[in-house]
């Protein structure tokens, strides 16, 4: 049987619940500069946002060039140090991906995080050989909510964007998937349904999800 769709996963909050660890890393990083932060501010201005946006928000100015590269590397290195011993997938993810692969579905990861973060997670979870597309922040010129990373993912997977299902947990990520023309499943790891754009479906984890349920999104 011909498989007529592909599945693309965001990473933070979708493959792993990394956001609490990003909060710890950002707090430690900002404390160095005497910049206060709160969980409420992280919810509004950190989760699902690019590092360029986050730094601009907290420093109240554009951070660019070598200064940006150094700040981003320092913060993400802090995150990897904090998170390395805690990497685990959202419940049911591995089994769900195995079901997709058993049915011939192409899959990919499309994250706004840098490659080194993705490499950390791929080194801990059995995902690398299951992915036909791996895209990180270095691969795009415009970050989510721009659809660029999802349009590139569809191209890598040799399928039209409207035959992709995107799994996202943030407002900017869901917007990116929708603008790309994909179907979007909202993962409720970070936000509530009412805090997100309208999605084609919502999940809290992957335990009840299957190839057939994703296939049904195109047939309903």
CATH 1.10.150.240, the chain: domain bounds: 19-85
Residues 6-16+87-217, CATH architecture: 3-Layer(aba) Sandwich (3.40)
Q: What is the pLDDT of residues 4-29, one digit of tens each?
A: 899 999 999 999 999 999 999 999 99
pTM: 0.93
Residues 6+ apart with CB under 8 A from 103: 3, 211
Single out the catalytic residue among 12, 17, 99, 169.
Answer: 12
CATH 3.40.50.1000, the chain: domain bounds: 6-16+87-217
Specify whether the CB–CB gap between 30 and 63 falls below 8 A. Answer: no
Banded pLDDT at 138 (limits 50, 70, 90)? very high
12 is catalytic: yes
Q: What is the pLDDT of residues 90-134, one digit of tens each?
A: 999 999 999 999 999 999 999 999 999 999 999 999 999 999 999
Please report, for residues 39, 105, 159, 209, 215, the alpha-carbon distance to residue 1 in angstroms, rounded to integers and kept in the order given: 48, 11, 16, 21, 13
129 is catalytic: no
Banded pLDDT at 2 (limits 50, 70, 90)? low
**What Rg, from alpha-carbon coordinates, does the chain have?**
17
Single out the catalytic residue among 10, 17, 99, 169.
Answer: 10
Q: Tell the CATH superfamily of the 19-85 domain.
A: Putative phosphatase; domain 2 (1.10.150.240)
């Amino acid at each position: 049987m011909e498989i007529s769709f592909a599945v693309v996963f965001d990473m933070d909050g979708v493959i792993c619940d990394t956001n609490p660890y990003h909060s710890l890393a950002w707090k430690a990083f900002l404390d160095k500069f005497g910049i206060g932060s709160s969980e409420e501010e992280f919810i509004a201005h950190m989760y699902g946002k690019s590092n360029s946006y986050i730094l601009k928000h907290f420093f109240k100015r554009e951070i660019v060039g070598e200064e940006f590269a150094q700040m981003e590397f320092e913060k993400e290195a802090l995150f990897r140090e904090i998170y390395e011993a805690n990497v685990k997938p959202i419940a049911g993810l591995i089994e769900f991906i195995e079901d997709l692969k058993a049915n011939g579905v192409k899959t990919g990861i499309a994250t706004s995080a840098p490659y080194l973060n993705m490499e950390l997670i791929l080194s801990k979870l059995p995902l690398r050989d299951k992915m036909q597309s791996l895209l990180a922040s270095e691969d795009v010129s415009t970050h989510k909510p721009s659809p660029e990373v999802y349009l590139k993912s569809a191209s890598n997977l040799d399928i039209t964007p409207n035959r992709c299902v995107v799994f996202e947990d943030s407002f900017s990520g869901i917007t990116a998937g929708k603008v790309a023309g994909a179907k979007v499943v909202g993962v409720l790891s970070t936000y509530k349904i009412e805090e997100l754009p309208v999605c084609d479906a919502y999940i809290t984890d992957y335990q009840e999800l299957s190839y057939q349920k994703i296939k049904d999104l195109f047939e309903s």
